[in-house]
Every structure is written in structure tokens, then in C-alpha cells.
Amino acid sequence: MIITVDTGGTKTLIASFFRDGVIGKQIKFPTPKKPSDYTALLRETLIKEYGDKTVEAIVIAIPGIIKNGVAIWCNNLGWKNFDVATAFAGVLGKAPVFVENDANLAGLAETRALRTNPPSSVYVTVSTGIGSGVITNGHIDPGLRYSEAGRALVEFDGVVREWESFASGQAIYKTYGKYARDITSKRIWYQIADRISRGFLVLIPIIQPDIIIIGGSIGTYFDKYSEQLVGLLKEHLPAHIPVPKIVQAAHPEEAVIYGCYYYAIDSLASKKA
């Protein structure tokens, strides 16, 4: 059994997987704001639910920059230098604990869900914040694994600001006073498409991916703004830079835990090699 943990800015999702990729029980709880409270609650839950089971690996996804198992910085949680790997070492016996950025893991899962793995794909999650994962030949790109598209500096309303600050789900709620599920106005969805397009106009010329995959809570409503988004990109990108194929995530809300599963399988295989 493989245990996966998707630590989000507002909620944490735990899911078990069998070796063949079949998902098992899922558990959710609000993400504690303090690393110490998060550690205590997650350890307690893991031991209670899986302490008597044979677990091959634990993969913990964190929304921030991860280096050597340490969450260097998590913007939406306010965590700094939180040694996640050490905090959970030995929680389920000898099961190794792997820690990785959540958007990287989601990108891994969504790319492998495609019919064929493209040479280059970019996964962007538009949820509480904006995260990104660059996947090259079916694996997290080692040179871009620390990239954070949500931090890209973009002009909007005459001010240079971080993309996430005006295009994330949190920013959309603050602007319109509604969650995406409650927005029915075509005018507002066009405005949201415009906000999202600003970051892509920065990313696409640099990476020039074959495909962009949009996930997260705003990704769930992809059909509401996809046509407008593509139109805006075609209008503003230089003529010699094509608009990549843009698709909705196959698992907009569960991509991270599926990515945790793939990451565990890959990591266990490399250990045996």
C-alpha cells in the first residue's frame, strides 16, 4: 500500500493506493496553520488509519519550494524551513517518506494520464494560489522543479504584481465576492480568462510547452473560460510562437494524490535499481 498526502492551503487530503493504482480510502481535514499542529494531526491520523497495515511508502505533497525534504517557503501557509521529511520519518515503521511540491506532482499525474507523454508539458493549478509543474519526457523537470509560476511578476491594472495575487481562486473570490461555482456571468468569466492569460503570456514564450494542463478549483470550471483564454493568447502572443494545446486536468481536484502515487512508484523502483 502507498499512502499519499495532498497538503493544500485550506485542506489536506490523504488517500491510500494499491500497487496497481487503484485508489482506496480518502480522508480530509482542514490544514492546520502551524507546522507543529499539522505534524501532530497528520501523524495521529496516519498511525490511526494505517499503523496496522503494510505500507511501502508515504508521499507528502506540500504547496511550496521543497529542497531535500524541507519546505523552504510555503506562501499560502506561511511555513518556512519546515523539515517535513524529518517530522514524519518512521511514522509508519520503515516506510520511506518522500516530500515534493504539490504542483510538480499534479503535473506528473496529469501528463501520464495523457494518451502519449509529450516532450514538454506545463501543469498549472489555479486554486487557493497558483502553482506550476514542468514535466519533461514524463518526469518532473530537474532544472525547473523549483519554479513557481504563481510568483511571476506581471502587469495588471497598471501595476506590476505577482500573477497569483490577481488570478488565483482566492483573488477571484476577493474581487467578485463569489466562488467560481457561483459565477454565471459571461463578462466575469471573460475577465477571469484575461487574468489567467497574463501569466501564460510570460510562461509560454520561455518554455514553449507542447501542452498546458489547468487544474485546481478554477480548473474544474475550465469550460467557462477556455475559449476566451485561447482567444486572448492568440491575440497577444508573437506570431511565431504558437498557442500550445490547453486542456482541463483529468482529475482537477485529485491530481496531486495521483501524482504522489506515480512518484512513489518511480522512487521505489529507483531504489531497487
Chain segment 131-177, per-residue pLDDT in tens: 999 999 999 999 999 998 999 999 999 999 999 999 999 999 999 99
User: Mean pLDDT over residues 203-219, rounded?
Assistant: 94
Which residue type, as a one-letter code, is found at position 124? V
pLDDT at position 273 is: 63
| Residue pLDDT, tens place only, 243-270 | 999 999 988 778 899 999 999 999 998 8
Mean pLDDT value across the chain: 94
- pLDDT value at residue 252: 73
Alpha carbons 18 and 22: distance in angstroms, whole number: 5
Task: Reply yes or no on whether the pLDDT at 26 is more than 80.
Answer: yes
DSSP state of 201: H
Q: What does the angle CA 18 – CA 97 – CA 115 come to, to the nearest 5 degrees? A: 50
What's the CA gap between 139 and 121, in Å, rounded?
Answer: 10
pLDDT over 70 (residue 207)? yes
Q: Which of 21-30, 114-123, 247-256 has the lowest mean pLDDT?
A: 247-256
Sequence-distant (6+) residues with CB within 8 A of 21 are 261
Written as nine digits, the cell of 265 is: 512508484
Cell of 197: 492569460
**At residue 263, what are phi and psi to the nearest 5 degrees?**
-65, -40
CB-count burial class (<10 Å; 0-12, 13-18, 19+) for 247: middle
Whether residue 272 has pLDDT greater than 80: no
pLDDT of residue 241 exceeding 70? yes
| Contact status, residue 31 vs residue 22, Cβ threshold 8 Å | no
Report, as an integer, the average pLDDT of 207-213: 96
Binned at pLDDT 50, 70 and 90, residue 129 comes out as confident
CA–CA distance, 210 with 2 (Å, rounded to integer)? 31
Residue 15: predicted pLDDT: 97
Residue 229, pLDDT above cutoff 90: yes
**What domains does the chain contain, in order, with CATH numbers?**
2-101+253-272 (3.30.420.40), 114-248 (3.30.420.40)
Per-residue pLDDT averaged across 30-56, rounded? 96
Q: Confidence class of residue 100 from pLDDT cuts 50, 70 and 90?
A: very high
Residue 259 is inside which H or E element, if any? helix 255-272
